[in-house]
Amino acid sequence: MARRVTSELLLVGSLPAQSSDSALRAAAELYEGLVFALPDGETGPRAAWAGYERERLVRPNPGVVTVAETASPTGIPRHAYETPVFAVKPGTDLRFGTWPRIDDAIASYAVFRSLREAGVIPAGLRFQVGLPFPHSALSGFKADFARDYPVASAAFEDLVAREIARLTSAIPPSDLAVQWDMAYETQDIEGVLAWTGEGAWERFAGPVRRLSRLVPDDVLLGYHLCYGTFPEWPMYEARDMGVAVRMANYAVASSGRRVDWLHLAGPRYLRSEDKSFFRPLVDLEPGDARVFLGIVLPVDGAPGLERRVATASRYLPDFGVAMYCGFGRQPGADGRQTMREHARVVREVRLGGPGG
């Protein structure tokens, strides 16, 4: 089967922009020829990533009670242990009505289509939508995880099934690229989440089997396997890429449809030449999926990317690159300059060009 994604760069999701319009305009200009799809930047409240689900989906549900509010003195959580804690109200048949993130995606697609019709966005690029996987969306159920998470995740999967159908009715599947985003799943499998306990692999694997097959085959589908940026990258630095490779192989084998890309976050900069970190890539079995390694770091530019490309290439000969995660929450002093530098580094290292 022919590979459907061949680009050099993946834009993981969030971008340092003020609106969907400004994100799409900047990305179309700066990343032309590098990417296969454009995200809308995940601006505004979605800059908090799955914190958006916490506040817009979980907290308002009448079947959910807030056990503990944020512990931050500012009222805005600064890390995982300052987020609100939720529980399912006893005796509740929990159900989520609609998914606000899908409303945002449909609204942003109208902007995307208008800009493409105006020639701002080149023909052939798809509109990319990132959707948090169940555990990442529901990480606030810490009060009695063993009791509440199975109930909440079943309700969330029911929501995803309904809302994927709504998304693909509103956006032509041939225009769409859907990315499953997961950070808590990865850390859960690593065994570093104190509140979860047994069953980590199935909390990832079950939704892979049940949810991915619901995405129509004309939609490009990818997985973003990450270690989170809350409050900084990474929330947990893995010993090596073994867990990400295992997860990626399972996703390719068990999604019930083709997987078009895999994004595996890389190491912090000091491990750029750590061969043991990258060695598990030799066991990666991507099939027809394009592999993007999250090895573009804002701290060391083209020289750092060159070192990480050289180390990874010992074990995986063919891959594209990406930031380790979305970078909308890490814009620096000038968001557009951050985006421009991202394009410049990738063009210089991957295409041998002068940069964007």
Helix (H, G, I), strand (E, B) or coil at 37: strand
Question: What is the C-alpha end-to-end distance of the chain, expressed in Å?
Answer: 33
What is the distance between the alpha carbons of residues 197 and 212, in angstroms, rounded to a whole number? 25
Average pLDDT over residues 26-50: 95
Q: Is residue 356 part of a domain?
A: no
Q: Is residue 114 part of a domain?
A: yes
Kindly tell me if the per-residue pLDDT of 68 is higher than 70: yes
Q: Is residue 20 part of a domain?
A: yes
Tokens for 70, please give them: 């944020």
Would you state the pLDDT for residue 1? Answer: 79
Range 24-48 burial, b when 16+ CB lie within 10 A, else e: bbbbbebbeebbbbbbbbbbeebbb
Q: Is residue 1 part of a domain?
A: no
Kindly tell me if the per-residue pLDDT of 332 is higher than 50: yes
Listed in sequence order, the DSSP H helices in 133-228 are 134-137, 145-170, 184-190, 200-211
Kindly tell me if the per-residue pLDDT of 42 is higher than 90: yes
Pairing of strands 85-88, 64-68: antiparallel
Tokens for 281, please give them: 């890539």
Kindly tell me if the per-residue pLDDT of 257 is higher than 90: yes
Kindly tell me if the per-residue pLDDT of 230 is higher than 70: no
Domain that residue 85 falls in: 9-351
Q: Is residue 2 part of a domain?
A: no
Q: What is the number of structural domains in the chain? A: 1
Predicted confidence (pLDDT) per residue in 282-297, tens digit: 999 999 999 999 999 9
Q: Is there a contact between 14 and 328 (Cβ–Cβ < 8 Å)?
A: yes
Kindly tell me if the per-residue pLDDT of 356 is higher than 50: no
Predicted confidence (pLDDT) per residue in 170-187, tens digit: 999 999 999 999 999 999
* Residue that wins the pLDDT comparison between 71 and 194: 194
Task: State the pTM of this model.
Answer: 0.95
The CATH number that applies at residue 155 is 3.20.20.210
Q: Helices (H), strands (E): how many in the chain?
A: 11, 10
Predicted confidence (pLDDT) per residue in 132-160, tens digit: 999 999 999 999 999 999 999 999 999 99
Helix (H, G, I), strand (E, B) or coil at 337: helix
Mean pLDDT of the chain: 93
Q: Is residue 25 part of a domain?
A: yes
Range 239-268 burial, b when 16+ CB lie within 10 A, else e: ebbebbbbbbbbbbeebeebbbbbbbbbbe
Q: Is residue 4 part of a domain?
A: no
State the Cα angle at 130 between 106 and 308, rounded to 5°. Answer: 145
Q: Is residue 105 part of a domain?
A: yes
